[in-house]
């Protein structure tokens, strides 16, 4: 590790992570580049020390990374995009991308936990929440009392409008009944954005988002085990049985739930694309190391043309995916809506991460098939990223609709 990175490790992370976003926004000059590089070195150093060495054991045991959360909160990662007045680090899109990319390289289960906490939940509360809702939930999210995003149901995945969870308005608030599935942070978090059909005076008023405390009576989150990848994350099914919330727990407007969900997914998919770039980069880095050390036919396999083809293809995928994420960062910093760029980056980066991790297993030969090296975990984790926050097919359809103006869903 270089002197700069060692020096930064001596600092409190929250100090390293905080800077006025305007400084980052200027882009292009030496100072900004070095600040982002310092941030990257800091997150990487934390991951090298605390995350990478234990990732295999967590993956094998499907063990939730509870022991890492206080450290991640302390250094500012869990509150990376939450404004300082709410206890966060106040990073903008450029800084957030760096944090997520590094977490994605080290452990995608952990990256997923942070992406949902920040990309989907914190950003939604910032965009749609009242001052009271922001003050109630954001400081806790930054401390590691995590947030979850409860959209998917057993009968409503790619098409959330088929959801059947209901929130019935009574004289003293709302009563929510229903079921959700595959909800990240859904059983070990503090709050879940629950999407349900609002029913007022017997009339369906449309999908609405509620901020539901996970300790509310009637909320039961149960972890799902046996996942192919992302095995140390908390992926839960939710039973919602007469959960009571008030009007002040509605996020956004009654009937405005899909607006909340779609804006959240724009942020979530950006985060996912950045994490996928990190995963693909890790696949290449470990493959380069292995290929230069592994000798067959009297020399390192790195000197074999067909191995170089695998490595070169990984490099090309990573550069392309990274460029697409750059395009999203640029537009987010400019404050421009960028659903087309986000879906394009999510689709390409997640598919590229699967290709890169698969090639990495090939470079490692039989050793890639066991978990002595991280590449098989990378492949299993990458596979999940093409499924959630809209499958690859759904991303194609979003892109197609935006290009043609015609929905083919």
Ligand X SMILES: Cc1cc2nc3c(=O)[nH]c(=O)nc-3n(C[C@H](O)[C@H](O)[C@H](O)COP(=O)(O)OP(=O)(O)OC[C@H]3O[C@@H](n4cnc5c(N)ncnc54)[C@H](O)[C@@H]3O)c2cc1C
Residue of 62, 102, 153, 389 with catalytic role: 389
Closest to ligand X by CB, 42 vs 343, is 343
C-beta of 409: minimal distance to ligand X in Å?
Answer: 5
Closest to ligand X by CB, 288 vs 387, is 387
C-beta of 151: minimal distance to ligand X in Å?
Answer: 3
C-beta of 36: minimal distance to ligand X in Å?
Answer: 28
Please report, as ranges, the residues that interact with ligand X according to CB under 6 A.
116, 149-152, 157-158, 182-184, 230, 235, 384, 387-389, 391, 393-394, 397, 409
Q: Is 389 a residue of the active site?
A: yes
Closest to ligand X by CB, 14 vs 112, is 112
Residue whose C-beta lies closest to ligand X: 157
Closest to ligand X by CB, 339 vs 391, is 391
Closest to ligand X by CB, 76 vs 384, is 384
Check if the beta carbon of residue 101 is closer than 8 Å to that of residue 110.
no
C-beta of 346: minimal distance to ligand X in Å?
Answer: 12
C-beta of 268: minimal distance to ligand X in Å?
Answer: 9
Any idea which residues carry the catalytic annotation? 389
């Amino acid at each position: 590790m270089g002197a700069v990175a060692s020096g930064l490790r001596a600092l409190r992370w929250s100090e390293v992570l905080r800077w006025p976003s305007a400084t980052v926004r200027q882009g292009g000059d030496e100072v900004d580049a070095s600040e982002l590089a310092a941030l990257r070195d800091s997150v990487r150093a934390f991951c090298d020390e605390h995350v990478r060495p234990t990732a295999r054991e967590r993956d094998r045991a499907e063990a939730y990374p509870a022991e890492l959360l206080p450290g991640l909160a302390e250094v500012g990662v869990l509150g990376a995009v939450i404004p300082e007045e709410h206890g966060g680090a106040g990073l903008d899109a450029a800084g957030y991308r760096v944090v997520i990319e590094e977490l994605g390289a080290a452990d995608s289960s952990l990256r997923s936990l942070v992406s949902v906490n920040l990309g989907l939940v914190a950003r939604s509360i910032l965009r749609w929440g009242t001052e009271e809702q922001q003050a109630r939930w954001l400081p806790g999210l930054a401390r590691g009392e995590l947030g979850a995003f409860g959209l998917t149901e057993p009968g409503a995945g790619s098409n959330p409008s088929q959801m059947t969870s209901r929130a019935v308005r009574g004289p003293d608030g709302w009563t929510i009944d229903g079921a959700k599935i595959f909800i990240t942070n859904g059983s070990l978090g503090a709050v879940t954005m629950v999407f349900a059909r609002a029913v007022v005076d017997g009339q369906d008023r449309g999908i609405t988002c509620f901020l539901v405390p996970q300790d509310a009576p009637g909320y039961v989150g149960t972890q799902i085990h046996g996942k192919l990848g992302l095995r140390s994350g908390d992926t839960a099914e939710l039973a919602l049985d007469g959960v009571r919330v008030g009007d002040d727990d509605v996020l956004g407007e009654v009937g405005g739930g899909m607006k909340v969900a779609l804006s959240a997914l724009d942020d979530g998919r950006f985060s996912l694309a950045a994490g996928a770039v990190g995963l693909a980069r890790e696949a290449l880095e470990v493959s380069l190391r292995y290929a230069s050390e592994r000798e067959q036919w009297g020399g390192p396999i790195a000197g074999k043309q067909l191995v170089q083809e695998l490595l070169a293809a990984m490099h090309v995928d990573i550069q392309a995916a990274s460029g697409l994420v750059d395009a999203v960062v640029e537009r987010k910093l400019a404050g421009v809506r960028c659903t087309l760029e986000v879906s394009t980056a999510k689709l390409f980066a997640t598919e590229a991460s699967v290709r890169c991790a698969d090639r990495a297993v090939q470079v490692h030969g039989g050793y890639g098939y066991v978990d002595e090296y991280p590449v098989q975990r990378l492949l299993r984790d990458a596979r999940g990223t093409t499924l959630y926050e809209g499958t690859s097919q759904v991303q194609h359809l979003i892109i197609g609709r935006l290009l043609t103006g015609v929905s083919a869903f």
